[in-house]
Structure 1
Amino acid sequence: MIALNVRPATPTDAALLARLNDFVHAVHAAERPDVFRADPPATELTSIFDGLLARENAVAFVAESSGRPIGYATATLHHRQGDALTRPRSFVFLEHLAVDPEAGRAGVGTALVDAVRTAGRDAGCSAFLTDVWDFNKNALAFFEAVGFAPMRRFLEQPL
């Protein structure tokens, strides 16, 4: 196990999150080049994270070891009113999770997920959701290991 510090991300972390995103984005771009750009411009990626961190309902965390950033998680808090079909529901949705492969299997991902889970509970959420691309077997196994279970499937058919 490594010495680990998980701290809330700040708006000044946008470029850092953009850089750390490379670890997970490369996997997506390799598996689904029809969906993901191989080399997104750093300025555009930083702008995406600027926008995400500015959202009122955003929560984000950075994991550091010996002062070096090695992972991050971003999520959004949702409070939905019920309607004729659904009950009111509050949940936290994990949007991004990335860990430096050199720090893999050291508890970094689990610590980041725990931080998001706690933020969701503190905000009154009763559920924790995420989505995973079907090709990403490592992510699927990780999320199941930290307590997630399948609840819905998206299916695709090329036209």
Structure 2
Amino acid sequence: MTRIREASPGDVDALVRLNGMVQRLHARHRPDLFVDEPSEAGMAERFRGWLRDEASTLLVAESDEGDVVGYTFCRVERRKGSLNTLPATVVSMEHLAVDPGSARSGVGAALVEGVREVGRRAGCRRLVASVWEFNDAARPFYQAIGLRPMQVRMDQPL
């Protein structure tokens, strides 16, 4: 049974390891945007900063053996309305990573449910997430758990 809990400073090494797997995927597909191997010390400090940030939440998935097998990072965003849009409070899922050995075992879905709960407690009405077009594993996963495309962002080298 996977247990979802808030991350702690003792989880930083596992978070850096899991983030590295996703980072390498991004760098492989978009080397024009992503570095291959960001500094582990820099990433560790980034995670420590997110742990201190009250608007951010880092959740980890822990296996029965106590190993961190996935994580998600989310933020509650209070968006002002404009002439064209309504004000909204949303929970934005910025990162989601699952160890390949735990893929397709419900870890990702449990982490997303944890993000939903963070959003509900904060009064959010929506969960938003971004996924890269090249991420053939993530797009069907997000759709299977109920997320739908909201906006398509396109780019072109100049």
3-state SS of paired residue (1:137): coil
CA-based RMSD = 1.2
Q: Which residue of 2 aligns with 1:51?
A: 49
CA shift for structure 1 position 83:
2.8
In structure 1, the gaps of 5 or more residues are: none
Scaled by the length of structure 2, the TM-score of the pair is: 0.94
- Give the Cα separation in 1 of the matches to 2:9 and 2:81: 32
TM-score (norm 1): 0.93
Per-residue deviation, 1:12: 4.2
Contact 2:75 2:93 in 1 (8 A): yes
Whole-angstrom CA distance in 1 between matches of 2:83 and 2:93: 27
Q: How does 1:65-84 map to 2 (within 5 A)?
A: 65=63, 66-84=65-83
Runs of at least 4 residues off by over 4 Å? none
Amino acid paired to 2:97: A
The answer to whether the aligner puts 1:31 opposite 2:37 as a matched pair is no
Distance in 2 between residues matched to 1:101 and 1:16, nearest whole Å: 14
Structure 1 stretch displaced more, 91-100 or 20-29: 20-29
Work out the percentage of aligned pairs sharing the same amino acid.
Answer: 42
- Structure 1 residue 136 corresponds to structure 2 residue 135: yes
Q: Which range is displaced more, 124-133 or 6-15? A: 6-15
**45-54 or 149-158, larger mean C-alpha shift:** 45-54
Query: Is this contact kept in 2: 1:94–1:130, CA < 8 A?
Result: yes
Counterpart Cα distance in 2 of 1:115 and 1:51: 20
Match of 1:20 in 2: 18
SS in 1 for 2:46: helix
1:115 counterpart residue number = 114
Q: Following the alignment from structure 2 to structure 1, what is the Cα–Cα distance between the partners of residues 32 and 108?
A: 27
Residues 91 and 124, structure 2, Cα contact 8 Å, conserved in 1: yes
- Residue pair 1:14, 1:53 contacting (<8 A) in 2 also: no
Q: Is the 8 A contact 1:7 1:63 kept in 2?
A: yes
Indicate the residue corresponding to 1:158 in structure 2.
157
Letter matched to residue 129 of structure 1: V
CA distance in 1, matches of 2:24, 2:55: 27
Say if 2:11 and 2:68, in contact at 8 Å, map to a contact too: no
Where does the alignment leave 5 or more consecutive residues of structure 2 unmatched? none
Q: Once the 2 structures are TM-superposed, how far is the Cα of residue 11 of structure 1 from its aligned partner?
A: 4.0
Whether the 8 Å contact between 1:77 and 1:92 is mirrored in structure 2 is yes
Q: Which digits, 9 at most, give the CA deviation of each residue in 1:6-50, with x for residues without a partner?
A: 111124433331122122122111111111111111101112212
